[in-house]
Structure 1
Amino acid sequence: MLKDKHILLGITGSIAAYKAAVLCRLLKTAGADVRVVMTPLAKQFITPLTMATLSKNPILVDFFDPENGAWNSHVALGEWADCYLIAPATANTLAKMAHGVADNLLLTTYLSSRAPVVVAPAMDLDMYAHAATQANLDTLRCTGVQVVEPGDGELASGLSGKGRMADPAEIVAFAERLLAEKKKTLCGKRFVVTAGATIEAIDPVRYISNHSSGKMGYAIAGELAARGAEVTLVTGRTALPTPAGVTRCDVLSAEEMYRAATAAFDRADGAVMCAAVADYTPETCADRKLKKGDGELTIRLRRTKDIAAELGSRKGGRVLVGFALETDDEEAHAREKLRRKHFDFVVLNSLRDAGAGFRGDTNKVTFVSESGNEPLPLLAKREVAARIADKIETLINE
């Protein structure tokens, strides 16, 4: 899948830079044309000679060649690349990328690149877990940068934890999936995807909601659209960019989501109910901020409309997929949803599984259907979305 692709490999100053040699060789073996740009500090960990030998191209470090004044154009590099792969990516480089700092050739090329950008973080576990690093990664994801999650294991510091750069073979596979031309297997099909959390107002200031970030639903909408489907994404409030090729409908409350989802379903071939919709909403919303008093405050709640159940009652021969996030008796609750709401299958995850649940970029799910359970390992949410789309295609083609 990488044959004749132009891969720009960025290397930063990490002990994991030695893995860049293996990564470069694997990219070349896959048929890619590889050019390498290094930060000055990266030369302390792996030599330009090594990378030039493996890539069969000169290595770029500085803005110009001090011997002859030849300019290494970051603009030309950005235009040349089909994918800009930065591995390893240090905490320092990630921070600079997130904030638009351009003090070396690698970073100016990042700001000039129109190609997909992939980073493979590598650092000590506390650096990776630090709130600043995580905020920088979130900022980069929101601008479209893809992140190959680091692995767990022994680190250069002697500690053990999450921070090891992903295996080079895993990074190559990631790049292959990113650059693979999606087959338009769902061309002509229409889907509704719900995502994110609803907001149920108590007064003009306060509301009831939950921790859903919308990442899973957005990944599903993007995957279906990439396969040629016409997708309407009915979304609660999120900070996520709209996936390419997706029609977005923003809502706030469960009632607004009900109206938008049911209307869109009338002309759809299926729906994926991924949103975290409030089961209850205040009976009344105060028209001004409720002030703190001396006593307790009681807020009466009423049930919201069950969007999935409503679509299930209208389902006919269409595909309907549900989600269940549980904390106990997971399978029993998922099977009850499967039956009551007429889902074709339920995507079940548990808050007891590490790496699953709200806000993260990974998920660990089980597909629950009448034919049995299909557990998946811990995967990136985009990969979970691809597996869900695969199963939807199977159902459509039956």
Structure 2
Amino acid sequence: MPAPYACTPAHSRGRRVDEPGSAHRSCFQRDRDRIIHCSAFRRLKHKTQVFVEHEGDFYRTRLTHSIEVAQVARTISNTLGLDTDLTEAVALAHDLGHTPFGHTGEDALDALMQPYGGFDHNAQTLRIVTSLERHYAEFDGLNLTWDTLEGIAKHNGPVMGEIPYALAAYIAVDDLELHTHASAEAQVAALSDDVAYNNHDLHDGLRAGLFTEDEISELPIVGDAYAEVDATYPGLDAYRRRHEGLRRVFGVMVTDLLDVSRARIADAGAATPQEIRDLGHPVIAFSDAMWSDLKQIRQFLFTNMYRAPRVMEQRARVTEVVRALFPIYMNDPDLLPRRWQADIAEARTETDIARHVADYIAGMTDRFALEQHAKFTGTDILARAG
């Protein structure tokens, strides 16, 4: 039985374009499946998480990260009596709008797009699933339910102040109630992202040699996890020790999140999904102590991984790629594929053209962006750097 505060397919707010229901899947299952089968989801396979895609097959990509987030989210959602399909749909979609080269590419594209309203990867995700995916006969986008679109738009909380350009354009035709919190399902997806990346970035950083087991053993949560492994399995080989240690870190985060969220939900006394939205605060949360510990872990990762000299050198190179491609396409849109030329032919303003160019660049994989840069500039930026 779903919890009373859970979203349910029977009470979904529906789709912008009416469709017959499925005999075999709920509306939220169909949302999840459409996300998995869309082109943007497949492209995540070759998009950066932290390391540029060519650097190794063992590091997380946006695709493997999204799958890990969905796994965590589904477990938490099921335990709390929420709709697991809606939770998983939001989790799987949350990074669809990322550019090549991760946050580095986003920063570069956002700077280039400042005269045209800027660029935000979360708003771009909404643009992808409502417009840019064009496979269905009767509509652009994936025609996802309102509930999933709401979760995509505001899983990190209400959107206040200046609304990103792409998001503002969509809510002009479909109100996603940006002033409220999202459903509990979407809140689970958001914090599952924190659980996943705090764990797997430690793993990837160790594999990359950016820091050592001894160094992370000084961190909260991590040190206790490794101590437990050493006490239980003395003399365990390094790779198994690492796995056993980090899986315990994973478990501590999930347990804290579940314990705190159960208590907050009980205190809220919410009897419907809308009451969850209208509370004015999230019900899915870590404890204050866990947030403090995670802040220390994130600061360690920021200093020793995200801003490590090796990573920063790569960031500078790939920033150059995005900065070079944008004016090339703006100055000569005929270089774009035919479908994109057709969109630009209908553009009325320079901003419209820039949005289409940004859409195209944002959709590139790491490798395709590098290939296009080499094609137009005659420079293999990675070989030059070596």
User: Normalized against structure 2, the TM-score is what?
Assistant: 0.22
Q: Determine which structure has the larger helix proportion and give its number.
A: 2
Q: Determine which structure has the larger strand proportion and give its number.
A: 1
Higher relative CO (Cα under 8 Å, sequence separation at least 6) belongs to: 2
User: Normalized against structure 1, the TM-score is what?
Assistant: 0.22
Instruction: Pick the structure with greater CA Rg.
Output: 1
